[in-house]
Amino acid sequence: MARPRSIRKRSFPDNLYERRDGYFIYRDPQSGTQYGLGRDKVRAFREARAANNHVASTRNDLGLVDRMIGAADTVGSWLDRYDAEIIDKRKYKENTRRQKKHHLTLVRELIGEKTIKRVDTKVISDVIDDTWVKAGKIFMAQTMRRFLFDVFERAEAKGVIPAGSNPARLIEVEAAEVKRARLTWDEFKVIYAKAQEMVATRELAPWAVNAIELGITSAQRGGDIAVLQFKKDVRDGSLWVQQIKGRNPSRVCIPLDLRLHVLGLSVGEVVRRCRENVVLSAYLIHHVSHRGGFKPGDPVFHGTIAKAFAKARDASGLKWPGKNPPSFHELRSLAERLYKDQGGVDTRVLLGHKHERTTALYHDARGAEWMVVKLG
């Protein structure tokens, strides 16, 4: 316990001390760090009072005035309402709902104890910078900025904070550099051949090659391919794909006769290959043996498909210096570019995009391919 101040120093602001030589020191009550303020008493008093006010503003101790104006609401208490009144009532898909709950947990851990009306732009900026930007996690920083914007926007709408005071509104996160490499046709051929070799040596299951062939001929996402069924989705000469991604997922009807000429395979031929396994299954991509708790005929999860592709890719010996290696999803971009070059296929419709600008993102090879000048 600190000794009582002398009568002469009882008028001193809290945390301000004077040495014998008349030099003033301020001690931060939170960190214990001492700061020199010089010998000017008036200036030292002013600086100390300002510092004490700042310390008080960062604490969560709530006084009578705070309680009278409703400032006792913490970010955590609002997050409880946001979870029950907004997240649980929005028609999110299960995976999206889990992500939102995870984001909620992160925010609660970072600023849950803070008084919500005292959370300003600097608080949010510091949280995003210190937690994600400085760690190089730009995509996560952008995601959390959007999430925090919605959290405080809903708080405005409910009257929890004053209108126009959303602290995340002015936050800007730098654009993230896309680090995943595109897949070229030559690279695909190497990975495809390696996957076939690994199936022959039983390093990969037969469904791995089927999934790669279905991905490149249909241009569909791995998650959509994983749930395709023979009876439900293969009928009337077409492959009927109910896409999963998005709030209003697209439904794409792909003729089984759609052929990718450079590969020499049609969608229908790939579907028939999926049937050739001795195991009877409702799913196009299915397990053919007992493994990892799965039995023959069970569907193969999207993540397992992606891992099989990555295994063949890594075994191929290909390298992408300075880039993350292409994932199974890059088959979708490559298929779009190949069909575009082939002609006669509306790739926007094939990919299930509502806008051409979205398809243009997939068509961008990100410098992985040469732009060839063609003579008339």
d(CA 325, CA 183): 9
pLDDT at 33 over 90: no
Look up 221 and say whether it is catalytic: yes
Catalytic entry in 221, 287, 313, 348: 221
Q: Return the residue matching tokens 């316990």.
A: 1
Question: Taking residues 3-32, what's their average pLDDT?
Answer: 78
Catalytic entry in 302, 332, 337, 348: 332
Look up 329 and say whether it is catalytic: yes
Quote the pTM value.
0.60
Question: Taking residues 256-266, what's their average pLDDT?
Answer: 96
Per-residue pLDDT, 240: 95
315-344: pLDDT as tens digits: 999 999 888 899 999 999 999 999 999 999
The sheet that has 251-255: what strands, in order across it? 234-235, 238-242, 251-255
Per-residue pLDDT, 132: 87
Per-residue pLDDT, 57: 62
Question: Taking residues 240-263, what's their average pLDDT?
Answer: 90
Q: Which domains does the chain have, with CATH numbers?
A: 7-59 (3.30.160.60), 75-157 (1.10.150.130), 185-363 (1.10.443.10)
CA geometry: angle 194, 200, 202, nearest 5 deg: 100
Question: Taking residues 8-21, what's their average pLDDT?
Answer: 81
Catalytic entry in 26, 82, 339, 362: 362
CB neighbourhood size of 11 (10 A): 8
pLDDT at 10 over 70: no
Catalytic entry in 245, 261, 295, 354: 245
Counting runs of H as helices and runs of E as strands, what totals does the chain give?
Answer: 15, 8
Look up 332 and say whether it is catalytic: yes
| Torsion angle of C-alpha atoms 346, 349, 353, 357, degrees rounded to 10 | 20
191-247: pLDDT as tens digits: 999 999 999 999 999 999 999 999 999 999 999 999 999 999 999 999 999 998 876
Nearest to 69 by CA among 6, 146, 162, 136: 162
Phi-psi sector, 293: left (phi>0), alpha (psi -120 to 50), beta: left
Catalytic entry in 169, 329, 340, 363: 329
Per-residue pLDDT, 71: 45
Of 28-32, 152-156, 204-208, 215-219, the one with minimum mean pLDDT is 28-32
42-79: pLDDT as tens digits: 888 988 888 887 776 665 555 555 555 454 589 999 99
